[in-house]
Amino acid sequence: MDYLFNSCPEIEEIKEDLQNNRLDSAAEKTQQFVNKQNNVPLNIGITGESGSGKSTFVNAFRGITNSDEGAAPTGVVETTSEVTPYPHPNYPNVTLWDLPGIGTTRFPADKYLKLVEFEKFDFFIIISETRFRENDVKLAQEIQKMGKKFYFVRSKIDNDVRSEKRSQREFNEETTLAQIRENCIKGLQKQDFETSQVFLVSSFDLHLYDFRLLEETLERELPEHKRNALLFAVPGVSMEIINKKKEALQSQIKYYALLSAGVGAVPVPGVSLVADIAIIVGVVTKYVFAFGLDIPSLKRLAQTTGVPYEDLINVIISPLAATTITTDLIIKVLQSLGSTAALIAAEEGCRFIPVLGIPLAMGLSFTSTYRILSAFLDMLANDAHRVFKKALGLNTSV
């Protein structure tokens, strides 16, 4: 197993710090190693004609409301006059760029892509509140020529559904949505643009309509190394998204366990635990953010759904949610996991065994870290299920 770590400079630096009893430095570098895994950049361009709901979509995608600090400004007139980045509050490597409306005086259609610096975006979302117009089609054609992905999103669907419900004696939501989708597709076809997919989205109710389908499509068509960046940043607005987040996080645990085992190879009794705890603190913090179980995210969820914050907190069982993940908290929770605590103690005991002690300690370090992170991930995923169901007024049993 050791060859896996000799090729990793970060591990070697951590080993050196531990061997020289620089425990604070070792813990800090271990945390930096964990954080580095979350820094794959993803840049999403949100564009369309002025007033189409771009800024509200940017805010909703980032899990914040229009009134939150750092929100993209919204209004009944064009509020975006320049290319403006809006990093995700929990994943700053994911940035949504609120682009000025195409066809405005400052951003004419024929020069639009050059002016917004087309090259830096991974893909574009083209938004319209009614039907897609000539400028939207021109933009899609230019993006297509340059070999990048784009997606048509028909916004403000909640307004259309409410209007139809009031005006029709026998209202059927599925029929209304199908008609809106078909009308958008036919409108694009009339402008000589062939597409079979338009996503219907309400930025105020992402759990409804086509947002989950949009997320699935984006994830499927992104390069593999960018998929998790999108998945972790997107709001957990469906059970499917929550489960996919858990699956992706579970697949990463072996790497953190290997990191733990590599540090466990250092023949200094007691200090491996310092690095292990630093790894666990960083990874569990990532879990909390991915599932939206941090306090700011829960408060925003309460605000957008109308479910009191206290009611959301009351369905949480794990001590790891709705709090700050600290070393003391992790140690306290570990003490309640008897079998895992025994593994950690056995790891330290192995160090005193001649010749075979260090390899045994490495194996036990891998096993204990893997079990701990798996158990904590299960706890938080179950809490995310309960919170999601409570927010939607569903049965909160998992």
Do 23 and 53 reside in the same domain of the chain?
no
Judge whether residue 310 has pLDDT over 80: yes
Provide, rounded to the nearest whole percent, the portion of the chain with pLDDT above 70: 78
Mean pLDDT, to the nearest integer, of 196-206?
A: 92
Do both 120 and 99 map to the same domain? yes
pLDDT at residue number 3:
40
Number of separate domains in the chain: 2
Mean pLDDT of 100-120: 78
Average pLDDT score over residue span 259-284: 68
Higher-confidence residue of 225 and 268: namely 225
pLDDT in tens, 214-261: 999 999 999 988 999 999 999 998 999 999 999 999 988 887 887 777
Do 10 and 88 have their domain in common?
no
In this structure, the answer to whether residues 243 and 343 fall within a common structural domain is yes
Q: Do 286 and 387 fall within a single domain? A: yes
92 and 129 share a domain? yes
Query: Within a domain: residue 396?
Result: no
Residue 182 has pLDDT above 80, yes or no: yes
Residue 128 gets the label, from left (phi > 0), alpha (psi -120 to 50) or beta, of beta
Range of the domain at 8: 3-36+238-391
The pTM score is 0.80
**Listed residues 182, 217, 233: the one ending a domain:** 233
Comparing 208 with 364, the larger pLDDT belongs to: 208
Question: Is 246 domain-assigned?
Answer: yes
- For residue 152, is it within any domain? yes
Contacts of the segment 88-93: beta carbons below 8 A, 24+ positions apart: 88/62, 88/63, 88/233, 89/62, 89/63, 89/64, 89/296, 90/63, 90/233, 90/289, 90/294, 90/297, 91/38, 91/229, 91/232, 91/233, 91/289, 93/38, 93/39, 93/40, 93/41, 93/42, 93/229
Rounded Cα–Cα distance for residues 331 and 274 (Å): 11
Q: Is residue 17 part of a domain?
A: yes
Q: Is residue 71 predicted with pLDDT exceeding 70?
A: yes
pLDDT in tens, 122-144: 999 999 998 898 888 888 988 88
Average pLDDT across the chain, whole number: 82
Same domain, yes or no: 69 and 216: yes
Give a yes or no: residue 296 inside a domain.
Answer: yes
Same domain assignment for residues 26 and 130? no
Q: What is the pLDDT of residue 1?
A: 39
- Residues 245 and 207 placed together within one structural domain of the fold: no
User: Reduced to 3 DSSP states, what percent helix, strand and coil does the chain have, rounded to the nearest 5?
Assistant: 60, 10, 35
Q: What is the CATH number of the domain that holds 164?
A: 3.40.50.300
Q: Read off the tokens for 233.
A: 């940043």
Which of the listed residues 170, 204, 233 is the one where a domain comes to its end? Answer: 233
Where is the domain boundary, 233, 266, 284?
233
Reported as a single tens digit per residue, the pLDDT across 321-373 is 999 999 899 888 888 876 555 555 555 555 555 545 445 556 677 788 888 89
Q: Which two tokens stand for residue 60?
A: 């909703």
Examine the domain organization and report whether 356 and 217 are in the same domain. Answer: no
Token code pair at residue 384? 């995310």
| Confidence band for 291, pLDDT divided at 50, 70 and 90 | very high
Q: Are 226 and 280 part of one and the same domain? A: no
In terms of domains, do 286 and 192 share one? no
Q: Say what the pLDDT of residue 216 is.
A: 95
Q: What's the rounded Cα separation, in Å, for the pair 49 and 112?
A: 12
In a domain, 144, yes or no: yes
Q: Give me the DSSP letters along 265-326.
A: TS--TTHHHHHHHHHHHHHHHHHHHHTT-SHHHHHHHHHHH---HHHHHHT---TTSSS---
